[in-house]
Amino acid sequence: MAKMPMYQQTVDAIYQDLQTSEQGLTDAQAQARLAQHGRNALNQQKTTSMLQKFIAQFKDFMIIVLLVAALIAGLTGEVVDAVIILIVVVLNAIFGVFQEAKAEEAISALKEMSAPNATVQRDGQILTVKSDELVVGDIVLLEAGDIIPADLRLIDVASLKVEESALTGESVPVEKAAGTLAAADLAIGDRTNMAFMNSNVTYGRATGVVVATGMQTEVGRIAGMIEAADETTTPLQANLTQLGKSLTILILVIAAIVFGMGMWRQAESLIDMLLTAISLAVAAIPEGLPAIVTITLALGTQRMAKRHAIVRKLPAVETLGSTDIIASDKTGTLTQNKMTVEKVYENLDLLDAHSVDFDQENRLAQVMILSNDTKITTDGLAGDPTETALVQYQLDRQYPVERVLADRPRVAEIPFDSERKLMSTVHPLADGRYLIAVKGAPDELLKRVTRVSLNGEINPFSAAQRTMVLNTNHDMATQALRVLAFAYRIVDEVPTEMTSTNVENDLILAGMVGMIDPERPEVAQAVADAKSAGIRPLMITGDHRDTAAAIATRLGIIDKGETDAVITGAELDDMDDDTFAKKVGDYAVYARVAPEHKVRIVNAWQKHGKVVAMTGDGVNDAPALKAADIGIGMGITGTEVSKGASDMVLADDNFSTIVVAVEEGRKVFANIQKAIQYLLSANLGEVLTLFMMTMLGWQILAPVHILWINLVTDTLPAIALGVEPMEKNIMQQKPRGRQSNFFSGGVFGGIVYQGLLEGAITLGVYWLAITYPVHQATQLAHADALTMAFATLGLIQLFHAFNSKSIHGSIFTVGLFKNKFFNWAIVIAFALLAMTILVPGLNSMFHVAHLDGFQWGIVLLASFLMIVIVEIVKFFRRRVLK
């Protein structure tokens, strides 16, 4: 039989179960339990050294392929080739280590949040002990300002309020009580007789018995979920792995065919054919691809940092671009995480808060200020967020708050308690009488109201007016407003007995206010932008259903009245995983959820093949942030736990920055895709050229030719494509999703026909040169033909780089010379290629001949044909796609 939860047990039953009492444990008992169960601390996170991080960079499949290629090249004497490949690989590893050097900080941050000391009762005495020495059964004393050091079952409460937003997602402090709760399976936020580790006492005091410590607490359970979470593979990592495997198979097959055919024809020696096979491998492998991807991602992170999005892991940049779902925590992410007065009900009229002006003698304004425990300090307002919101509202409206407090000092009070839900204070007036200021829950306060203030006159409070006020309260509550009512009475002297019966009766209604944790002003537009980009925004919150639905409606996440799109954590518990997976698309708002619910929601969408981004700022968000394809933490309001579990942190806590990051991610993917199309089509052209030359028995381009072409064309131009400006309408396209890859969207077809075209043009130039030689000597004719083929294969790739500025768009619409880095890359690459032919000494080193003007004209014209033909194909493809 399952053990009954602590919140359902009586205090006596808990004392008996935990073998303790209201006097607390003895010191001997505490020491014995500490030795048996360990300290009240979270598990230390496993860390990795810089060397381990560096070695981990070489586990990528594409990197392994390149290392093998470097080894083969080195063993066959192609030392330069091997060195270049190794340099590329090492640089890639260094980039990765620097970007990911900051180890996962989630669990260590959780530990740092813990309270350093705790006040306990042991041996009947009040002691201060280190919080990590607390044990189950200890009696802990709490007061305002304390960080709760362990999970407690409250046994004595005096007006206690606890701020639990980091754990539950609720922006308003929770009122606590000591009574036993009968309901089963309560969400954390509804366990009002419990206080949880690392939450904060904002008001009142209490005594509680420790029922869980360390990893057994609710925070510890979250830490365990973070620790156990698997690292998700990003779409970029999956794409590169698949690309590496495909290229390896292709390289092996082609090299084997060429080697076999050459040996069968006995046209070349074994060593020559082995070198030819190596040349094919060099031609097929895009050596610069890992570096280009890394550099493109690194540049993307720099641009995003300037726009307040700090990326902790390089692949996260591209992952953003494929995002289908943004699942956002509400408190502090979609909202401002501070209560704000939005509506004022005065003179039986409901007004927008910004349209109300109070004079100093206004009773509603006075009661809001006087029946209030907010402290005005040099660092701002301190106190309960609901009360500070009332004072801040008056300060914003230039109301003389401090003068009123000075003129009307508090001389007596009845503190707030959760049973009567009222607070009353007594203040002297200038005429010698006293003002009793009362605030509280409208339902309770109206029971004590007999009169109402209307435009300065006091009138009897009729039944019709009472109904009107109650209806207004209900209407504000359905809009997710937290409603407080305010009343007063004037007496001749301070009541001798400060009891509710004596003081809180025959009250005059001054009015009501409606408060809310308001949405961030930029979020509604960001939600609209996300929707126009084909991204579905979700709200996931620990707040109540009505509050969540109201905020979601205001933000445009759901339409007004779309209640079927809202589901609570309790309703979610009633569904098994299969049922939820089928219905997950029906819901856009998840209310009153626990941390495991958030992970379950993320996982359900991932099972549908969706790429999920999860935002959050609290401890309760950390497991889902880690489970998501990309976790997005808040830099200002976010806990260190949520930041540590995230792939990206928003430095300005601005939801619209996510849309900016998505835009940047799409740009990064598009540019990597351009570079891949450019590199692989060029490499396919090289492979086709070597393959056909071998099959036709022509003189073959040597490994040094292919290596130099790759060095010249696969580096600077390809990197320059990685920093191409963003194409128009990139945010009006639908997300690529998890199933897409670098070959999607017509890229594979482009690689194939463009590679075939490059090879065909190069072979055509070679055939033309040996068929109609300028020199009559056969040796000279072959030297010219080989040189022209070498020059054409290099130049055609530089011309093709212009085609690659857009996958589908014409080069005349994307800006031919807009990218200055690209322009210089082409100029430098052309100079490096040309000097191997033009500079004496270098041409003999590269086994090429000088070309005359006519031959250069053929090479340039043939190379330029690449742009013309590709532009024609793009034109017809755009017509078909329409």
- Alpha carbon 124 to its chain's center: 49
Give strand pairing partners of 519. 335
Give the CB-side neighbour count of residue 40, counting CA atoms within 13 A. 32
Is position 329 annotated as part of the catalytic site?
Answer: yes
Burial class for 810, CB neighbours closer than 10 Å (0-12, 13-18, 19+): middle
DSSP string, 131-196: GGG--TT-EEEEETTPBP-SEEEEEEEEEEEEE-HHHH--SSPEE---SPP--SS--GGG-TTEE-
Are 138 and 126 a contacting pair, CB within 8 Å?
no
Q: In this structure, are strands 536-540 and 589-591 parallel, antiparallel, or unpaired?
A: parallel
79-99 vs 61-75: helix axis angle to the nearest 10? 150
Q: What phi-psi label fits residue 594: left (phi over 0), alpha (psi between -120 and 50 degrees) or beta?
A: beta
The answer to whether 602 touches 628, Cβ cutoff 8 Å, is yes
Residue 762: name the closest of 780, 786, 798 by CA. 786
Q: Which residues pair with 335 in a beta bridge?
A: 519
The single residue of 60, 151, 324, 329 carrying the catalytic annotation is 329
Q: How many whole angstroms separate alpha carbon 397 and alpha carbon 835?
A: 75
- DSSP for 209-264, written as a single string: EEEE-GGGSHHHHHHHHHHHPPPPPPHHHHHHHHHHHHHHHHHHHHHHHHHHHHHH
Q: Which of 662, 675, 676, 819 is nearest to 730 (CA)?
A: 662
170/113 Cα distance (integer angstroms): 19
Backbone dihedral region of 853: left (phi > 0), alpha (psi from -120 to 50 degrees) or beta? alpha
User: How far is the C-alpha of 571 from the C-alpha of 590, rounded, in Å?
Assistant: 10
- One-letter amino acid at 762 equals T
Q: How many CA atoms lie within 13 A of 759 on its CB side?
A: 21
Q: Looking at the annotation, which residues are catalytic?
A: 329
